[in-house]
């Protein structure tokens, strides 16, 4: 059965009780996922990374704001924000309040489409199509400049939108390469392409939407890992089948969590990865569009990724 037909059938069988669970319970059942990546030089101390993605925050979501604020309790050494922070024209102060306990910790960010344009009402069924993108309304432009200012000036985070940067953490030199949102075709990887410069101890790629063209380019340049969001983990997942869609050209098996990526990896299991293939972590994110406020089989999440030395 074609995935779209399967999705429509599943949606029809969902029923009122399933819809109530997905919209009232699971979408508010925030969870911290924990992963380990053995990518540091031998003998290095571990680095704790908090990644949050796809907040899709509106000012009234106090439960989500308070949950995100508690991420600082895990004492991360590095913060990675992979975009889609906003879901309301006046959400920047709420995002700043949610992330404020993490401000001052070394961090990086790349933006998503919902940092540029506010969501609009549309048929939720569009999300099940192979390409759900629609033209953006210029009258729905969000105050992305204020968001960037908060992240760069107040938090002190590196802006990785079609940019590179370096941080020193735990005595290690970390190099980053990132792109602006590929879902809006704002990525310009050719402007930042290339292997790590100098004697970096770790080389990380950061992107909101994990489109294959960006993942392949980063892998070809020798990143140790790629950190992404955007997919919502599928948002609706079926037992025994998993994510229905990824909302990009990434294969469904990598819709969320930790896998391996190499040039040409799309659709090939991570178990077949070349020995030096970089890791790929895709966060299922913490939010939804206000116009499709449901999650099923895919709880909203942030990630605590512990980087440890290679074996």
- Cα–Cα nearest to 250, from 226, 282, 273: 282
- Mean pLDDT of all residues in 87-101: 97
CA 149 to chain centre: 20
Alpha helices in 50-103 (DSSP H): 62-69, 92-99
pLDDT given for residue 121 in this prediction: 74
- Mean pLDDT of all residues in 207-216: 98
Strands 242-243 and 237-238, bridge-based pairing: antiparallel
Q: Does domain 3-309 have CATH number 3.60.21?
A: yes
pLDDT digits over 263-297, tens only? Answer: 999 999 999 999 999 999 999 999 999 888 999 99
Distances (CA, A) of 158 to 56, 73, 217, 257, 309: 21, 22, 21, 24, 24
pLDDT given for residue 8 in this prediction: 46
Percent of the chain predicted with pLDDT > 90? 80
Q: Is the pLDDT of residue 301 over 50?
A: yes
Could you tell me the pTM of the whole model? 0.92
Q: Is the pLDDT of residue 237 over 70?
A: yes
Q: Are 299 and 236 in contact (CB under 8 A)?
A: no
Q: Is the pLDDT of residue 123 over 90?
A: no
Higher per-residue pLDDT: 127 or 145: 145
Residue 30 token pair = 């925030």
As a whole number, the mean pLDDT across the chain is 92
- Mean pLDDT of all residues in 47-73: 98
pLDDT given for residue 130 in this prediction: 56
pLDDT given for residue 4 in this prediction: 42
């Amino acid at each position: 059965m074609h995935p779209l037909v399967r999705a429509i059938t599943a949606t029809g069988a969902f029923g009122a009780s399933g819809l109530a669970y997905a919209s009232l319970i699971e979408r508010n059942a925030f969870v911290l996922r924990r992963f380990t990546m053995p990518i540091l030089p031998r003998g290095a101390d571990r680095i704790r990374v908090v990644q949050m993605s796809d907040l899709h925050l509106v000012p009234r979501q106090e439960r989500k704001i308070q949950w995100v604020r508690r991420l600082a309790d895990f004492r991360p050494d590095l913060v990675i924000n992979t975009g889609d922070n906003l879901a309301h024209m006046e959400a920047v102060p709420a995002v700043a309040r949610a992330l404020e306990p993490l401000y001052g910790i070394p961090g990086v960010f790349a933006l998503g489409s919902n940092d540029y344009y506010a969501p609009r009402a549309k048929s939720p069924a569009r999300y099940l199509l192979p390409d759900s993108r629609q033209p953006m309304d210029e009258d729905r432009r969000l105050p992305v400049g204020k968001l960037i200012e908060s992240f760069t000036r107040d938090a002190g985070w590196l802006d990785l939108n079609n940019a590179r940067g370096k941080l020193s953490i735990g005595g290690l030199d970390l190099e980053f390469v990132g792109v602006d949102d590929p879902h809006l075709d704002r990525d310009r990887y050719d402007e930042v392409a290339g292997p790590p410069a100098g004697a970096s101890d770790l080389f990380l790629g950061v992107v909101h939407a994990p489109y294959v063209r960006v993942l392949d380019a980063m892998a070809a340049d020798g990143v140790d890992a790629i950190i992404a969001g955007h997919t919502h983990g599928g948002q609706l997942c079926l037992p025994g089948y998993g994510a229905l869609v990824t909302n990009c050209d990434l294969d469904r098996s990598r819709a969320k969590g930790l896998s391996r990526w190499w040039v040409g990896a799309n659709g090939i299991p991570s178990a077949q990865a070349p020995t030096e293939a970089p890791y790929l972590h895709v966060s299922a994110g913490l939010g939804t569009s206000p116009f499709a406020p449901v999650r099923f089989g895919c709880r909203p999440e942030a990630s605590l990724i512990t980087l440890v030395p290679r074996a």
